[in-house]
A = this chain, B = another copy of it.
Amino acid sequence: MTVAPEYSTDSGADELWEGVQPQPARRLLVAGLGLFAAQGFHGTTTRDIAARAGMSPAALYVHYRTKEDLLFRISRIAHEAALTAIPPESPGSDPAGQLQAAVAAFTAWHARHHTAARVAQYELTALEPAHFRAVAAVRLAIERTFRKMIERGVAAGEFEVSDTPATALAILSLAIDLARWYQPGSRHTPDELGDLYAGLALRMVRSGR
């Protein structure tokens, strides 16, 4: 829970941004990400971003309409990647195994990409309405994925929960809150946290207690 007084980012090498082309657009996006994570969207100017990317302020506008447009690209890519990180549910499989795999992957993703997750999660209110709606649709898809897995386990008699939507949100909180406290050098690796939290999530839903 004790966080170092400086927020460190190491996301320059993050494979999340590989699809952002051309290369100067990616450099600007990674510069913006680091600044938004450290000092917030409202505390960062386009001039700061251009300077950190080693480019002129005008160059930013070649690739991004506004600072908000750059934030939107970060947020959409991060949300879509978090959704994609959840392994697809195969119809014949065991609900507990499915939920365990999903929580493990979703948790590890948030530890590994904690800087992207931080900006994607904490700067939602800075998005323009149309951009917010696009991101909210991905958020809803994530929430529904977990809700359905719980419903499937309940239907099979393996799970027993008093409130499926609230339990899904609680499981998401375990993973998403890593954006707040996880740092490289934390006591556990992303995969270890994934395994730990998958075990805790299963305990939260399993019947027969």
Residue of B nearest to A125 (CB): B7
A154 at the B interface (CB under 8 A): no
Q: Which of A24-32, A57-65, A132-140 contacts B (4 or more CB under 8 A)?
A: A132-140
**Interface hub of A38, A196, A206 (most chain B Cβ within 10 A):** A196
**Which B residues are CB-close (under 8 A) to A142?**
1
Q: How near does chain B come to A189, taking the closest CB pair, in angstroms? A: 12
Number of copies of chain A assembled together:
2
Interface size on A, residues (CB 8 A): 53
A191 at the B interface (CB under 8 A): no
Selected contact of A173 from candidates B41, B129, B166, B174, CB within 8 Å = B174
Known contacts A40-B40, A42-B40; A166 and B139 CB within 8 A of each other: no
Instruction: Report yes or no: A1 in contact with B169, Cβ–Cβ below 8 A.
Output: yes
**Interface hub of A3, A127, A173 (most chain B Cβ within 10 A):** A173
Cβ-closest 4 pairs across A and B: A42-B43, A40-B40, A173-B177, A39-B42
